[in-house]
Structure 1
Amino acid sequence: MSILHNTSHQQRCFTRKYTAECHGFFSPMATGPCGTETLVFRLHESTPEVVREVLLERGWEEHDPLERDQGDWNLYWRTSGFRKSDYQNVLPWQRLNHHPNTMCIARKDCLVRNLRRMRCTYGATLYGFSPTAFILPNDYTRFLEEYAKSRLGPGGKRGYWICKPVDLSRGRGIFIFDDIKHLTYDSPVIVQKYISNPLLISGYKLDLRIYVCVKSFSPLTIYTYQEGLVRFATEKYDLASLDNLFSHLTNTSINKFGPFYTTDKERVGQGCKWTMGKFRTFLHSQGINELLLWQKINNIVTLTLLTIAPSVPSTSNCLELFGFDILIDSNFKPWLLEVNYSPALSLECPADVMVKKSLVNDLIDLMNYTVIDSLRKGGNLHQEQKHPYSSSRRSLMPQTPLVHLIPKSVYERKLLNQSSNCYRQFASNECKLPAIHTHRVESSCQRTQERNIPSLRVGDFILTFPFNDVTRKASQGTLDVKTIVREVRKLKSQLRSSQARKENRKKERNGGTAAIKKNLHLCFGVLDTHIF
């Protein structure tokens, strides 16, 4: 299956190639420069096929236990967590796709407990982005009190609740109810207030899958992918039919079996997914300035990860890809629904192909492979690194400017695919997510040379934390959560003030198109001109 990309992405690939050739950095192709060996990947049996496909396209070789030593590899990818010994024995040229002790954030009851603890410590104003939730059976009495309050509220308004098994995924076991007599369960569940006023497009409910990469927990370094997926229910939203999962749930694993999945639905189209770029184009078509919305989502990501960051052991050469599921309500408030560990990377539709293949490519780029990583059996290097936790050990944080490459074989194929009619029909008129930082984002030729300062952008991954010098210093050594939370509060206040000023200026200009376009360019980078 081919990789489909837009013109800006092709230009970025050329920039990577040019910068690499200028500075002599390593492009991990099969032949290898100066006789270096090929980079080798090792996959667990349940690894999504797209990971193998991307790595082979980049010129890697798959680990063969009959031909190579057990530890003769550069990347080990699993959908489940690694053993403690895997982290203890990892060598400088090796990477793991999980940090230790991060799986708990994806278990619904653990997430509820952690967010509840942070809400009690730092207040509901800051941590009010998750619906009120109870863990049953332990919180059953507290749930009854809240349920009674909602029934006796102003006007006796009916409240809606959603029940989810704590340890299941893909929408399994979920149901919605408005009367407690319908609440039944035979295993631990969480019961949350159901957001009954979701944002709808032509009557269809949707949520956002935001891809987040934590490159390091010490220092805390978070990248958010500027593309992503928008997932739709396949039947129109209707509170009168709470038992219709095709109307209320957006999980692809459920909706692909719905009777209207292949139907060309009004504005949504066939299937149940958009790319984030297409969603952003929709927001612009409605006259919505989404900068504040995206920054709210970034804050949700940071504040959620702060719930586990202090307890994650400091381990080099690991990174973690999370999938944050965000619901936007009719007031454009984003709500955190859940966090996914090893988010699904299956390719089931054109939107999946566009987003996930590039996502895996850029994730590999974030791993900072260089020429020396291919010398797995080099005598001096091997002897020097027998003790992997020595102080001289190189981590994923760049100490010299690194260029993140996609090999020639891949970017040439991307250019060939640009002319694909399928792509033009699907991806035309789409926009990118805004650059997270309002200050200038450096190009690949301007990467910082200061040690332990991460690049602001790697491919389509945008650095969202740290977002200033104070948060960078607070994430060094022992994580200073209080200082980080204080800076997030300041950022929220500044964004609100900035947004109010922009709205006032916009009114004064009477909607001057040229000025609006200039402001959006400063915030988001180049936009598709058709919007204006």
Structure 2
Amino acid sequence: MKGKKSWSVGKRNQKTSATKQEKPTVLLHFTKKPHYEVTLKHVRRVMERFGYGVTYNTDADWDVLWAHDSPFSTVEALTEIKPHQRVNKIPENGHLTIKAEFVKSGAINIPPAFRFPEDKDKFLKYVEENPTTKFVEKNNYHREIYLKAVKDIDFDSEQKFVQKFIDKPLLIDGKKFEFGVYVVITSIHPLRAYRIKEDMIIRYTKIPYYPFNESNVSQYVIKEDSLQYWESPTMQKFLNHSYSIQESFDATLKSVGANPDHVWELVDKSIVSVLLAQEGNIFYSAKYYQNIRNFFELYRFDYIMDEDYKLYALEANMSPNLSSAKNPRNAIIYEQVLNNLFKLVGLEAYVNLPNENSNITQRMVAHKRNIMVFPDVCLHCNDCSDFECKLCATCLNEDLALDLQMAYREYLSKSRASRVFPPRMVTFFLF
């Protein structure tokens, strides 16, 4: 279609793949071409270790598309991809990642936020009811954050929003910090999502929080040149003993009086709340694509805590930084996250020729017999309209069976990923 971006969906046929024994191919795409090797360095490394050939040519045949920017320039762009092809972006993910959308989602643990001009009256009422509350002004798309007096707020700007300022943050080594966790959506409908454990990002302000000075942004805003996790004297004590970042962070939280188990419970609930708040919008956009199982995405959810150990969600980052150019010590984090991600979504299995009979290959890992449950019930099921019979082989429809097999493969391959949605089923035994 003239003037619109389209993606090659590949021209290989089954016979060619079986004969030539071609490597599966990943297409790496970033609109800022000079930054390919820096931004996507670790993606390329891990993909090559998994046996992939790498291309930057958007007209090439590909099995996996890894796009740093959104590849959905038009609705038509990826509507005809083949069942075996995978894309690392979800259609219309801006519902999750645009800051103004995120803070207005209605999800839990998000500080009150107001967009102008539509929320002006609500904001002024909130100020009247909470006269001591301070507010930060944020850009919808960038990291510009400033404390603003109510009288200085621009109520006509549609590019910014204001949000309650958490003025008593929990401190580590006297400094404000935020931490980011990696979240993977493996399925849009039905929704399945995971949090990757052990690997995370923790950053600190360069300047101690107290004595507080509103004009010194470096006291309360985490910038790109912020201190990294290994620059915290408290965390360093645990890192020196080769504990993982999360283990060191948990020990550090304990040292300041927090309960890390409770913190992670809150984090998981927060992630689920954000995803469910936008699930309908994402599925509505994805339904235009033939194969919605083709899409997955890695995010980073950022959080802060206050001195009472309450958790606050800041944002969800699309295309979280995976470049160690500025901080080489982060290379192992990014490569372990990618390794876990690729295994979780089944890309590791692509070294076994994605274009051969994929059903045969996938059945080797997860057969229909692996998802059967309740044998005592199913043996006596005669009516598929009965709720308890829906998961029995004679009643289970193929579409649901495929989703269950995908979920089963993820379970086998999850490594350090923990499923946050759907929640784990708990069986209660009565004695």
Letter in 2 for 1:247: Q
| Alignment counterpart, residue 162 of structure 1, candidates 127, 136, 142 | 136
RMSD value over aligned CA atoms? 3.5
Alignment check: 8 A CA contact 1:220 1:466 kept = yes
Letter in 2 for 1:340: N
Alignment check: 8 A CA contact 1:76 1:97 kept = yes
| Residue matched to 1:460 | 416
Cα shift at 1:162: 0.8
| Residue matched to 2:152 | 182
The reply on whether 1:37 has 2:22 as its aligned counterpart is: yes
CA distance in 1, matches of 2:362, 2:153: 49
Cα shift at 1:345: 1.3
- 1:202-223 Cα offsets, whole Å, 9 max, x none, are 2100111011000001111111
| Residue matched to 1:56 | 48
| Residue matched to 1:321 | 298
| Alignment counterpart, residue 309 of structure 1, candidates 279, 292, 307 | 279
The reply on whether 1:281 has 2:248 as its aligned counterpart is: no
The reply on whether 1:224 has 2:195 as its aligned counterpart is: yes
| Residue matched to 1:78 | 67
| Helix, strand or coil at the partner of 2:277 | coil
| Residue matched to 2:120 | 140
Alignment check: 8 A CA contact 1:129 1:300 kept = yes
| Helix, strand or coil at the partner of 2:247 | helix
- 1:101-120 Cα offsets, whole Å, 9 max, x none, are 212211122223321xxxxx
1:165/1:395 CA distance change after superposition, 3 Å: farther
Cα shift at 1:308: 1.4
| Residue matched to 1:113 | 104
| Residue matched to 2:11 | none
Cα shift at 1:87: 3.0
| Helix, strand or coil at the partner of 2:45 | helix
Please show how residues 407-446 of structure 1 align to structure 2 within 5 Å. none
Normalized against structure 1, the TM-score is what? 0.58
Please show how residues 86-485 of structure 1 align to structure 2 within 5 Å. 86-115=77-106, 127-151=107-131, 158-168=132-142, 171=143, 173-177=144-148, 179-184=149-154, 186-226=157-197, 227-238=199-210, 240-251=212-223, 253-255=224-226, 266-267=233-234, 275-286=245-256, 288-311=258-281, 312=283, 313-314=286-287, 315-347=292-324, 348-349=326-327, 351-369=329-347, 375=353, 399-400=366-367, 451-454=405-408, 455-456=410-411, 458-469=414-425
1:128/1:308 CA distance change after superposition, 3 Å: closer
| Helix, strand or coil at the partner of 1:76 | strand
Letter in 1 for 2:417: F
1:89/1:373 CA distance change after superposition, 3 Å: farther
| Residue matched to 1:488 | none
CA distance in 1, matches of 2:230, 2:253: 23
| Helix, strand or coil at the partner of 1:197 | coil
CA distance in 2, matches of 1:237, 1:464: 33
Cα shift at 1:234: 1.0
Structure 1 stretches lacking a partner, 5+ long: 1-31, 116-126, 152-157, 386-391, 402-448, 471-532
CA distance in 2, matches of 1:131, 1:56: 42
- 1:235-257 Cα offsets, whole Å, 9 max, x none, are 11136312222210123x1537x
Cα shift at 1:370: 6.7
How many residue pairs get aligned? The number is: 348
CA distance in 2, matches of 1:88, 1:394: 25
CA distance in 1, matches of 2:53, 2:278: 35
| Helix, strand or coil at the partner of 2:104 | helix
1:286/1:200 CA distance change after superposition, 3 Å: closer
CA distance in 1, matches of 2:261, 2:92: 33
CA distance in 1, matches of 2:160, 2:299: 22
Alignment check: 8 A CA contact 1:165 1:188 kept = yes
Alignment check: 8 A CA contact 2:229 2:235 kept = no
CA distance in 1, matches of 2:404, 2:416: 22
1:300/1:283 CA distance change after superposition, 3 Å: same
1:184/1:64 CA distance change after superposition, 3 Å: closer
Alignment check: 8 A CA contact 1:74 1:94 kept = yes
Alignment check: 8 A CA contact 1:36 1:374 kept = no
1:254/1:287 CA distance change after superposition, 3 Å: closer
1:371/1:210 CA distance change after superposition, 3 Å: closer
Alignment check: 8 A CA contact 2:51 2:351 kept = no
CA distance in 1, matches of 2:129, 2:318: 35
| Helix, strand or coil at the partner of 2:335 | helix
Alignment check: 8 A CA contact 1:134 1:143 kept = yes
Letter in 2 for 1:111: F
Letter in 1 for 2:270: I
Alignment check: 8 A CA contact 2:97 2:316 kept = yes
1:376/1:165 CA distance change after superposition, 3 Å: same
1:247/1:371 CA distance change after superposition, 3 Å: closer
Percent of aligned pairs with the same amino acid: 22
CA distance in 2, matches of 1:35, 1:284: 57
Normalized against structure 2, the TM-score is what? 0.71
CA distance in 1, matches of 2:88, 2:229: 35
CA distance in 2, matches of 1:238, 1:183: 25
